[in-house]
Chains A and B, each alone.
Chain A
Amino acid sequence: MDTNTTQYKTCADVRFRVIAGEGVIIRQEIGEALVVNEVGASILKLLNEGVSTSKLIERIAQEFDVEEERLTLDVHRYLSELESANVVEKVA
Chain B
Amino acid sequence: MQLSDLTRKFCNENILFSVLLELTYRCNLDCTFCYNDRSLKGTPFRFEHYKKLMEDLLQMGTLNISLSGGEPLAHPDFFRIGALAREMGFVTRVKTNGHALRSRLLERLKKEVDPYNLDLSLHGASAAVHDRQTQVPGSFERLMQNCAEMKAIGMRFRFNMPMTRWNENEISEVFDIVDLFETSINIDPVITSRDNGDKAPLSLSSSEAGMMKLSDLMGKRRKAQALKYGVSENTGNDIVIPQKKHCGSGSSTVTVDPYGNVYPCVQLRRAAGNLHKQSIRQIWEGSEVLDEVRELTVRVKEWTAEQGESCQKIGFCPGTALHETGSATKLYPQAEMRVTILDKKSVREEV
Which residues of A does B touch, CB under 8 Å? 13, 15-20, 22, 24, 26, 28, 31, 33, 35
Other 19 A-B pairs with CB < 8 A, given A15-B63, A15-B89, A19-B6: A13-B114, A15-B90, A16-B89, A17-B62, A18-B61, A19-B15, A19-B17, A19-B63, A20-B9, A20-B13, A20-B15, A22-B1, A24-B6, A28-B91, A31-B117, A31-B156, A33-B3, A35-B1, A35-B3
**Measured CA separation A26–B93 after assembly (Å):** 13
Q: Is the CB of A35 within 8 A of B91?
A: no
Known: A33-B3, A35-B2. A20 touches B116 (CB 8 A): no
Known: A15-B89, A19-B15. A24 touches B63 (CB 8 A): yes
* Number of B residues, CB within 8 Å of A: 19
Nearest CB of chain B from residue A34's CB, rounded to whole Å? 8
With a cutoff of 8 Å between Cβ atoms, the chain A residues found around residue B175 in the complex are: none
With a cutoff of 8 Å between Cβ atoms, the chain B residues found around residue A33 in the complex are: 3
Nearest CB of chain A from residue B132's CB, rounded to whole Å? 33
Q: Is the CB of A26 within 8 A of B63?
A: yes
Confirm or deny: B303 has a beta carbon within 8 angstroms of a beta carbon on chain A.
Answer: no
With a cutoff of 8 Å between Cβ atoms, the chain B residues found around residue A16 in the complex are: 89
Closest Cβ neighbor of A33 among chain B residues: B3
Nearest CB of chain B from residue A25's CB, rounded to whole Å? 10
**Measured CA separation A13–B116 after assembly (Å):** 9
Most buried by A among B13, B17, B89: B89
**Measured CA separation A80–B11 after assembly (Å):** 33
Confirm or deny: B10 has a beta carbon within 8 angstroms of a beta carbon on chain A.
Answer: yes
Closest Cβ neighbor of A48 among chain B residues: B89
A-B residue pairs in contact (CB < 8 Å), sample of 11: A13-B114, A16-B89, A17-B61, A19-B10, A19-B17, A19-B61, A24-B6, A26-B91, A28-B91, A35-B1, A35-B2
With a cutoff of 8 Å between Cβ atoms, the chain B residues found around residue A15 in the complex are: 63, 89-91, 116
**Measured CA separation A18–B10 after assembly (Å):** 12
**Measured CA separation A20–B116 after assembly (Å):** 23
Nearest CB of chain A from residue B89's CB, rounded to whole Å? 5
Closest Cβ neighbor of A34 among chain B residues: B3
With a cutoff of 8 Å between Cβ atoms, the chain A residues found around residue B6 in the complex are: 19, 22, 24, 35
Closest Cβ neighbor of A10 among chain B residues: B89
Nearest CB of chain A from residue B87's CB, rounded to whole Å? 11
**Measured CA separation A15–B15 after assembly (Å):** 18
In the A-B complex, the 6 residue pairs with the closest CB atoms = A33-B3, A19-B61, A17-B63, A15-B91, A35-B1, A28-B116
With a cutoff of 8 Å between Cβ atoms, the chain B residues found around residue A20 in the complex are: 9-10, 13, 15, 61
**Measured CA separation A60–B156 after assembly (Å):** 37
Nearest CB of chain A from residue B251's CB, rounded to whole Å? 13
Nearest CB of chain A from residue B6's CB, rounded to whole Å? 6
